[in-house]
């Protein structure tokens, strides 16, 4: 079984993913946890060029100005295409080395962040509206990524998530709000299990464990057919 957690920073994904992996292991279901956000390496030269161009445009570090400048730069012929395709190809290699390797070992895997988080980042960088967001999901390279058996979307209002988070990479409430709307849209369109992230940690963990066990049982019945 392959289970993923998605949601904005401050939603509690990591806490719940780690808890689920531990509780499944304690229940006799071999399970591993992995953090699987895209970590750019090949794309770093392109990122460096984009940041340099943003500084020339005086886009600044403030989120709205930075994002507007970045979108303008990525509209240049070929640059947006390079940003998307190099990023997806590199992330596919990273996923193969982490997710696929662990799944082959016969263990269940709980994944903290996955391709859907990259969709959110790419959609904002490339200025993709919601009606065009699913075009990313239909990209040919996406077919090569392992498909999760269950995706949990921890749904938290951006203001609450921002109050919880002291991460310097989080640029502000608008940064979280932009991503929250994308996750919500993906959840509705792709059938994620939406969990109210404003509940207590224990309540959320119990809800998620119950949903996961149901999925395990359904999968076991399917395997017997």
pLDDT score, position 59 = 55
Q: What is the pLDDT of residue 223?
A: 65
pLDDT at residue number 45 = 84
Coil, strand or helix at 35: strand
Q: Phi then psi for 105, rounded to 5 degrees?
A: -75, 0
**pLDDT lower than 50: segments of the chain:** none
**In angstroms, how far is CA 65 from the centroid of its own chain?**
24
**Domains plus CATH for the chain?**
2-39+107-224 (3.40.50.300)
For 93-160, the DSSP string reads HHHIIIIIHHHHTT-EEEEES-HHHHHHHHHHHTT--HHHHHHHHT-GGGGGSPPPSEEEEEE--HHH
* Residues 5, 33: Cα–Cα separation, whole Å: 11
Residue 20 near residue 208 (C-beta atoms within 8 A): yes
pTM: 0.89
pLDDT reported for residue 186: 94
Q: Are 13 and 120 in contact (CB under 8 A)?
A: no
HSE-CB at 199 with a 13 A cutoff on CA atoms is: 14
Separation between Cα atoms, residue 101 and residue 64, nearest integer Å: 39
Q: How many helices (H) and strands (E) does the chain have?
A: 10, 5
Q: What pLDDT is recorded for position 50?
A: 82
pLDDT at 61: 58
């Amino acid at each position: 079984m392959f289970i993923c957690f998605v949601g904005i920073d401050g939603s509690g994904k990591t806490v719940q993913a780690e808890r689920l992996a531990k509780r499944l292991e304690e229940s006799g279901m071999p399970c591993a946890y992995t953090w699987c956000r895209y970590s750019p390496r090949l794309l770093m030269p392109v990122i460096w060029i984009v940041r340099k161009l943003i500084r020339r445009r005086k886009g600044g570090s403030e989120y709205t100005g930075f994002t507007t400048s970045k979108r303008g730069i990525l509209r240049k012929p070929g640059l947006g295409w390079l940003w998307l395709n190099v990023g997806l190809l590199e992330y596919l290699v990273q996923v193969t080395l982490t997710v696929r390797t662990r799944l082959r070992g016969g263990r269940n895997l709980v994944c903290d962040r996955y391709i859907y988080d990259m969709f959110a980042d790419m959609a904002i960088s490339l200025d993709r509206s919601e009606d065009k967001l699913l075009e990313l999901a239909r990209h040919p390279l996406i077919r090569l990524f392992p498909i999760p058996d269950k995706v949990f979307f921890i749904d938290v209002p951006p203001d609450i998530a921002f109050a919880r988070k002291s991460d310097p990479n989080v640029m502000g409430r608008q940064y979280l709000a932009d991503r929250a709307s994308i996750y919500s849209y993906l959840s509705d369109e792709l059938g994620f299990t939406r969990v109210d992230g404003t509940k207590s940690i224990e309540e959320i963990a119990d809800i998620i464990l119950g949903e996961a066990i149901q999925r395990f049982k359904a999968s076991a019945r399917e395997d017997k057919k």
